Amino acid sequence: MSQDRTTVTKWDPRSLLLHCHIFFREFALTSACGLESALIENGRKGRCGPKGVTDNVNVDANVSSRINLMRIVLISGIVFVHIPFDAASSPYDGTYGAFDWVRIFLTEALFRVGVPCLSAISGYLLFRSGQENFSYRKTVRTKAQTVFLPFLLWNCAFIAAIILATSVGVGDGYLPDPLRASGRDLMTQVLAVEDFPANVPLYFLRDLFVCILLSPILAWLISRAPILTLTALLVIALVPELSIYIVLKRSILFSFSLGIFIALKQFDLKALDRFAPVGVFLLLAASALLATAIFFTGPSLPDWVQFFRNALAIVGALGFWLLSAPLIKTQLGQRLSKTGSLSFWIFCAHYPLLVFLWILWGKADLSFYPLFFVLSFALLFPFLTLSNGLCRKNFPRLYAILTGGRTKRSPTPASPQDVSRKLVTQQR
């Protein structure tokens, strides 16, 4: 989408016919295509050509670009959440002063919004064309290839890397040993049955696939009793230390259902754009307040802080969506919205690389943690961008499998006693 499509220009009566032509052309093209989730880019070609995350649902160009923009921004933020640390570099000790507060602001407050926001986008896109056009069998078959298969492949690849590393003594004290895990723990490491998988961030794909399996039931409940359904799911998402086992992250179930509700009610996603400055300010202010509360009460957070954190993770999605309104009008926003399958590559590959960078850091016997925090982020993105491009160019079939057909450019580990306290990750 060109820059002038998202900027406001002086109205010219002569452009009315042109604008109408563009509108109906885009509506005809987009409404003819299928469905995809917030992380999905379908590589199959049909009458709509190569499909991106939102190219195949009937959303206008502005909303489509903003969804793509949110995906890469939020996934980049999720990388912050998973940068490892140990007991000596815990931000709750305040060893590094303001730097520790900034870490908490980014990892415990602001970017905790990422997963709920992506979940809401997924639910919205799944039912954007209405219940009558939803094919459950086709959807499950497609999502098994685009969500569940990449989850298995990336997770098993990391487990294989762990086995290789521990066999030569590289990961001793840093990584769980799958070969010594019980059958139950191994099932969780591979399939995230009871807790996070070995490749921790991939729990989102696991929970997303579960939500997709439940989507007809959720849509039926929302279409008949939306307030009751969403209220019940919201309570479940907000209550601290509650486990429902169906999903590992309760906010995903609520946010996915909220996205379905927005789609079925056909709400205008741009209706609140004029309040973007206020929304972004409130998001940053609330994140700062939460970070301060966590900084002074962590790591064992009282219930009221956990409730605040859970609530902001859900409500903050609106702030990020409002942020996308002005951001998409910038050159940077336009470029980020066209990064395509890179976001999924970053999402699946960043955690294993962070863990092995942490191992190298430990072997180097360095102790100034802020340097690791900054360097890991600075090194990770160029490497992932380069590897994404090389794999897509030189091994297109492998790339298509690893990304679930996203070819467009554009754990309980072993039981706690078996894992060293050297590694503490923010496993969300």
Confidence of residue 407 (pLDDT cuts 50, 70, 90): low
The per-residue pLDDT for range 114-156, each reduced to its tens digit, is: 999 999 999 999 999 889 989 999 999 999 999 999 999 999 9
Per-domain residue ranges of the chain: 3-7+16-418
pLDDT for the residue 166: 87
Q: Which amino acid, residue 164?
A: L
pLDDT for the residue 176: 83
Average pLDDT value over all residues in the chain = 85
Whole-prediction pTM: 0.82
The per-residue pLDDT for range 296-341, each reduced to its tens digit, is: 998 999 999 999 999 999 999 999 999 999 999 999 999 999 998 9
d(CA 205, CA 148): 7
The per-residue pLDDT for range 352-403, each reduced to its tens digit, is: 999 999 999 998 988 899 999 999 989 999 999 999 999 999 999 999 999 9
Average pLDDT over residues 409-415: 41
